Amino acid sequence: MAVELADRLKKLPPYLFAQLDEAKARQLAKGVDVIDLGVGDPDLPTPNPIIERMKRAVENPEHHRYPSYEGMLSFREAVARWYQNRFGVELDPASEVITLIGSKEGIGHIPLAFVNPGDVVLVSDPGYPVYGGATILAGGEPYNVPLLADRGFLPDLSAIPGDVLARARLMFLNYPNNPTAAVASLDFFREAVDFAREHDIILCHDAAYSEMYYGEPPHSLLEVEGARDVAIEFHSLSKTFNMTGWRIGMAVGNAAIVQGLKKVKTNIDSGAFQAVQEAGIEALDGQHGVEEMRRVYRERRDVLVGGLKKAGFQVEAPQATFYVWFPVPQGFNSMAFATRALEEAGVVITPGVGFGGYGEGYVRAALTVSKERLEEAAQRLAGLMA
């Protein structure tokens, strides 16, 4: 039998990180000592109090049955407490908070709740590939909104054509930003909320990196007055608490938008394992290891940025995230330089074009190895500049 993929899958571009894994595997098979600065997967361990809470929770037979679709109320209450303490945002845990199996799950499902075939979704370019992929799977049309260096990698909302806005249903924002590491001000968030209200667009803000900062704490979109009328914010425990494999996150905001996402989830998944939600409560209430996490990544950032500058790269120290986004040397495009870095220096970096056409000319390095390995990576990459 010939197996034919659905048209929606044929429309999806190849998932960049899967391609990187294949290229890395080929080098490892040759015996190359590869330094992987590709996928943003924290190498630090989950803090011990979170692990201990999980151990106790696993032994509770009440957690061995199906969880609720929207998540344990106790976890959602912990989310609301954290939002109040961190951002001064008051949430109703019963109606304005939903538990996710990692924020990627919620981001991937939100277009299914609100996008019809032919609807447009405004997608940052460069941006996390799931925004566009989820739009295509829902039958929508991604419209790439450029993030350019001369605007601090913030979108120019006034430049989006009127005929596009007439069909736009959702807009994805992501600050602190992956891959550019840009941070948005409250003034920009106010502009975005006014824009969404004017054009009847749902704002979907991916705030997964809000706790990974090295200066002023980033803002929540929901700090803006009126944001709750038009917005939902996605958050994750993955990066803040080194819990990427645990798959636990949350979405908060407009109650009707949250309920729409819940309706999708009731038909697709059966909720997050309650023992993991117990561990999430421990993480949110205890804030275990967060200051240490920031200290470690600041050190690593300074090592890599310093080494790259010494080698002759044009690079600025990011103020948030654990990514360093920098232009490729003259004479290269992003894929060519990333390929050369892997094949000649044994360093995995992510080509910017994998995040969209406006990512061309840049590469992204993740600070997810020790500072010693980052120093070595910078030295190896310096050899490519000779």
Please report, for the chain, the start and end positions of each structural domain, with discontinuous segments joined by +.
Answer: 7-45+290-385, 49-286
Peptide bond between residue 161 and the one before it cis (omega within 30 degrees of 0): no
Q: Say which residue the tokens 């010939």 belong to.
A: 2
Check: CB of residue 375 under 8 Å from CB of residue 37: no
**Predicted local distance difference test score (pLDDT) of residue 16:** 67
Of residues 167, 102, 113, 166, the one with CA closest to residue 137: 113
DSSP letters spanning 69-81: SS--HHHHHHHHH
- Output DSSP code: residue 175: S
Of residues 25, 15, 14, the one with CA closest to residue 348: 25
Q: Give the CATH number of domain 7-45+290-385; options: 3.40.50.720, 3.90.1150.10, 3.40.50.450, 3.40.718.10.
A: 3.90.1150.10
**Predicted local distance difference test score (pLDDT) of residue 108:** 97
Of residues 151, 155, 157, 213, the one with CA closest to residue 181: 213
Q: Splitting the chain (386 residues) into consecutive groups of 10 residues, what average pLDDT does each group show?
A: 91 76 88 92 96 98 94 98 98 98 97 97 97 97 98 98 98 98 98 98 98 97 98 97 97 98 96 98 98 98 98 96 97 93 95 95 98 97 86
Element spanning 345, H or E: helix 334-345
Per CATH, the number for 49-286 is 3.40.640.10
Q: What Å distances lie between residue 238 and 67, 167, 196, 374, CA to CA?
A: 20, 34, 28, 22
Element spanning 191, H or E: helix 186-199
Q: What is the pTM of this model?
A: 0.96
